[in-house]
Structure 1
Amino acid sequence: MKIIAYALAGAALFGAVSTASAAPLKVFACVPEWASLVKTIGGERIASVTLATTAFENPDNLKPTPGMIAALGEADLLLCTGIGLEDEWLPALMERAKNPNVAKGKPGYFMAGEYAKVIEEHNEGEHSKVDARGAEEEEVHPHVQGDPNNVRVIAGQLAKRLIALDPEGKDVYTDRTKTFLSQLTALTKELKAKAAPLKGINIVVQHDHSTYLFNWLGVRTAAIVEPEPNVAPGPAHLAKIIADVPKNRMRFVIYAAYEDPAPSRFVSEKAKIPLIKLPFTVGGTPEATDLLEFYKDSVQRLLDGLAGRERT
């Protein structure tokens, strides 16, 4: 009788585990691009997505709230960029949430940047990072969502992870991923042709945040208004950029949705070139409602700048 009782108890426990694993997933996403991607791939299998930052906030400067801690504590999947983007706040948030399911190395821990083809960032001088031996650390630009080729790979890896967490949703994840990748492939081919006039042009950027987008399109960053984020540029630096605009044929100035455009507007007005706001991520402009629309709107805004039209 004890053996039967143990068998029944084991069967009941297995059933409870199976039911839990098949339940729709709760996701904690660090940035809007991955929140959008998991909704696109997961559909009805995603019970909820808690987003730590919006397109109007600098993802480097998050201040965790009790609500975020609670949401991460209940999450089945932690979905962030990694590769240095959330280093200032995510470890402390994870420590306070105390959720073993999303600990590093667990299936519920997914860092999208680990699957991207990254571009190295070359830091020199007093703001360079050094390791314990005094050698400069290699850093990469973390905003990999700007290149749809990265998103294509990340989408495939994310689908695999969702299936691992929720096996009963395999058909949903597989079908939705195939649809998204088909749409993304067709769109990127269309946009590359449409954006051909942008290849090789020089522009001014407020900060070096759209490296992957520009690399994909062949746009050159000829000047940076704010070399250090959140540090106001000095008058001499701005004067040099303005003087260099005609010499280097810089066509327009861009800033991200989360940035105060004041210094870029100053350069735009003095140099008499258009000022362009880029969404930077999903939700940064009314048009950038998902990843596909983000690429469409980014390309269109850059083309408008090339045509001399301001987009703010």
Structure 2
Amino acid sequence: MKRAFTAALAGVALLLSAAATSAMAAPLKVFACVPEWASLVKTIGGDRIGTITLATSAHENPDNLKPTPGLIAALAEADLLLCTGIGLEEEWLPTLMERANNPKVAKGKPGHFMAGEYAKVIEEHNPGEKEVGGEAEEEEVHPHVQGDPNNVRLIAGQLAKWLIQLDPEGKDVYAERTKAFNSQLTAVTKELLAKAAPLKGINIAVQHDHSTYLFNWLGIRTAAIVEPEPNVAPGPDRLAKIIADVPKQKMRFIIYAAYEDPAPSRYVAQNAKIPLVKIPFTVGGTPEATDLITFYKDSVQRLLDGLAGRERT
């Protein structure tokens, strides 16, 4: 009887141990604010990453999100909140976090990761807007850091450290997959820079100033911005001036992002007789941009097509 009871206790202990191990090894639930970081965490984490809830798609402006019950519920269950920070989600993320009330993803916790904090940022310069009420206004930065693969390489290394904190058992997986990704990214970006050499120093027009990091990486100059303020349609005088400036500034083509209505850019392209080019802006923005590697490849190819006089929409 005693032997049977001891065996039963051993069996229960084994089951409890297995359950605990299973719980510890459960795939991480991730809430990603934008597609580029959803892609990165899956690339680094592989099967150790479970459900990924994506707040915005490549065809949505990340500035305009409205918290929904589904997003609130997903964030409430998440192990990791993965966003850009540096001002990108400031209009909606605080409300979403407050309603989700998930201490695991609170600021300062291992489940709270803001990718932009580990990037080399570019400041926005707004002449005439530096002072408000006689006081210097804090300098803002361009938040779309995914445009520069050098930033993504830095962020990948930091994200791996965060994942190891959350899931120590996966340390070797995260380290190996991050090393492999960064090695591939380094090789691809070297090839792309050589391929993109004809783009260096050219002038282009853009619908909105959203791809500063991509253009800075490739050495492209933005000579005109159709919509200086997002979601504010340009007036006829502005459009006429840009069209007149195209030959003066030798603008080779005009680009718009996958999430934008291209109507203003198309008007400029047709009247100035320059190609109109859609760029993916992030992962999923075009059929070809299925991950971060192909995002850079497709972006460069589309820009080269524009330089060659070909429209890509």
Q: TM-score, normalised by structure 1?
A: 0.92
Per the TM alignment, residue 175 of structure 1 is displaced from its structure 2 partner at its CA by 1.2
Match of 1:53 in 2: 56
Alignment of 1:105-144 (within 5 A): 105-125=108-128, 134-144=135-145
Query: SS of 2:244's equivalent?
Result: helix
The 1-side partners of 2:131 and 2:97 are apart by 25
Relative to structure 1, the CA distance from residue 268 to residue 26 in structure 2 (aligned partners, 3 Å threshold; closer, same or farther) is same
Q: Tell me which amino acid in the other structure corresponds to 1:188.
A: T
Does residue 93 in structure 1 map to residue 100 in structure 2? Answer: no
- Distance, in Å, in 2 between the alignment partners of 1:300 and 1:240 is 29
Cα–Cα, structure 1 residues 39 and 132, in superposed 2: closer, same or farther, change >3 Å?
A: farther
Letter in 1 for 2:35: P
In 2, Cα distance between equivalents of 1:164 and 1:140: 29
Matched AA of 2:26: A
SS state at 1:203 partner: strand
Q: Counterparts of 2:137 and 2:24 in 1: how far apart (Å)?
A: 44
Q: CA deviation at 1:137?
A: 1.6
Q: Equivalent residue of 2:153, what SS?
A: helix
2:29 maps to what in 1? 26
Separation of aligned partners in 2, 1:282 and 1:218: 22
C-alpha displacement of 1:123: 2.5
> What RMSD, in angstroms, separates the aligned Cα atoms of the two structures?
1.9
Q: Which residue of structure 2 aligns with residue 298 of structure 1?
A: 299
Contact 1:120/1:138, CA 8 A, preserved across alignment: yes
Deviation at residue 20 of structure 1 after TM alignment: 3.5
Cα distance 1:16–1:123, how it changes in 2: closer, same or farther (>3 A)?
farther
Question: Please, which moves more after superposition, 18-27 or 102-111?
Answer: 18-27
C-alpha distance in 2 between matches for 1:121 and 1:252: 23
1:206 aligned to 2:207? yes
Aligned residues: 300
> 1:89 is aligned with what amino acid?
W
Which residue identity is paired with 2:108? Answer: G
Q: Identify the residue that residue 157 of structure 1 maps to in structure 2.
A: 158
Deviates more, 1:169-178 or 1:92-101: 169-178
The DSSP-based 3-state class of the residue aligned with 2:64 is: coil
CA contact (8 A) 1:21 1:165 kept: no
Q: What is residue 280 of structure 2 aligned with on the other side? A: 279
Q: Which residue of 2 aligns with 1:103?
A: 106
Partner SS for 1:277: strand
Which amino acid in 1 is paired with 2:152?
V
SS at match of 1:238: helix
1:82 alignment partner in structure 2:
85
**Post-superposition CA distance 1:205-230 (Å, at most 9, x none):** 00000000000000000000001100
Other-structure match for 1:240 = 241
How far apart, in 2, do the equivalents of 1:125 and 1:226 lie?
Answer: 18
Return closer, same or farther for 1:26/1:268 CA change in 2, 3 Å cut-off: same
The 1-side partners of 2:157 and 2:133 are apart by 36
Counterpart-to-counterpart distance in 1, 2:111 and 2:23: 14
Mapped contact 1:252–1:268 kept (Cα < 8 A): yes
**Structure-2 separation of matches of 1:240 and 1:21:** 61
What do residues 187-216 of structure 1 show as CA deviations (whole Å, max 9, x unaligned)? 000000000000000000000000000000
- Distance in 2 (CA, whole Å) between partners of 1:228 and 1:78 is 28
* Contact 1:55-1:282 within 8 A present in 2 as well: yes
Give runs of ≥4 in structure 1 deviating > 3 Å. Answer: 12-21, 129-134
For the residue of structure 2 that corresponds to 1:161, the secondary structure is helix
- Identical pairs, percent: 84
Aligned to 2:260: 259
- Unmatched segments (≥5 aa) in structure 2: 1-8
